[in-house]
Homo-oligomer: A and B are copies of this chain.
Amino acid sequence: MKAVTSKSEMRAISDKLKKEGKSIGLVPTMGYLHDGHISLIKQSKKICSVTVLSIFVNPAQFGPNEDFNKYPRDFEMDSKIAVKENVDYIFAPDTAEMYQENHLTYVSVDKLDKIMCGKSRPVHFKGVCTVVLKLFNIVNPDKAFFGKKDFQQLVIIKKMTEDLNVLVEIIDCDTVREADGLALSSRNKYLSDEERKNAAILYKSILFAENEIKNGQKQISEIKKECMEMLSLNKFIKKIDYFDIRDSENLKEVKKADRSVNKILIAAAVYIGSTRLIDNKVILL
């Protein structure tokens, strides 16, 4: 395993690998790795000849009052995991290496970046798209691996690569969960013991919605109402950012859970204490 911090060195390595006919898998992360990231790495190891793990806490995707500064970082632990998982390269540039002082260029995916998480995080997806495109241009991967836990991000990145004719195949990987259903996230670290115990309610509310649909409830508004109620009754939930049921292909709103939609996305974002957690599930109708 080799750690690289400079863009030009990373690109030179990638050019060399490409000339040798190697396929490159990129696993873009903000570090503080957990089993969710590890499952992305394992996927890449399985289908690409070389795996590059990028670790970069991207300031452009945090709003001014968000947790950029306190976002957990532990490069030593991340490196150990990377070695154990046989990652070939860690690409871990610092902020100044990724964004020159007078950075002005941004990539945005209209409409999709304004709903769901985009409503309360207006610059988030613009920051995500910009850094992902930069990483693609620096690492030049054949495939890039993203978790379904950030489902809206996944849809937006797929749309961006399609719209801009980027020749990187986006591979989505299943969410990894704790025994009680909580989706793994670096932000779970923020939770107190009590909050952690109660955080499982987020996924439970999504499973509840799934059950309602499977039991024949077609009125999305009804299901949403019940789930919002279920969540708001838990005193550790300080705020429900959204509870949404949408077409998973294009994130369009759905009124009825019937065969007019192929796959339905149930997605929610809540604050447990001051920690914002998101989760989702896609179900086939």
Residues of A at the B interface (CB closer than 8 Å) are 7, 11, 100, 102-112, 129-130, 133-134, 137-138, 159-160, 162-167, 250
| Distance of A158 from chain B, by nearest CB (Å) | 11
A167 CA / B130 CA spacing, docked (Å): 16
Determine whether the beta carbon of B164 is less than 8 Å from that of A134.
Answer: yes
- Nearest chain-B residue to A165 (Cβ)? B137
Q: Which of A7, A105, A138, A160 has the most CB of B within 10 A?
A: A105
Contact for A111 among B104, B107, B111, CB less than 8 A: B104
Determine whether the beta carbon of B11 is less than 8 Å from that of A167.
Answer: yes
A131 CA / B112 CA spacing, docked (Å): 20
7 contacts between A and B (CB under 8 A): A100-B163, A104-B112, A105-B110, A105-B164, A106-B110, A130-B164, A137-B167
Determine whether the beta carbon of A104 is less than 8 Å from that of B159.
Answer: yes
| Distance of A283 from chain B, by nearest CB (Å) | 24
Determine whether the beta carbon of A160 is less than 8 Å from that of B108.
Answer: no
Determine whether the beta carbon of A105 is less than 8 Å from that of B108.
Answer: yes
Contact for A107 among B105, B112, B162, B165, CB less than 8 A: B105
B residues in contact with A162, CB < 8 Å: 100
A160 CA / B100 CA spacing, docked (Å): 12
- Given A164-B133, A164-B134: A105 in contact with B100 (beta carbons within 8 A): no
- Nearest chain-B residue to A8 (Cβ)? B165
B residues in contact with A250, CB < 8 Å: 102
A107 CA / B126 CA spacing, docked (Å): 10
Contact for A164 among B11, B137, B165, CB less than 8 A: B137
Determine whether the beta carbon of A106 is less than 8 Å from that of B104.
Answer: no
Determine whether the beta carbon of B105 is less than 8 Å from that of A160.
Answer: yes
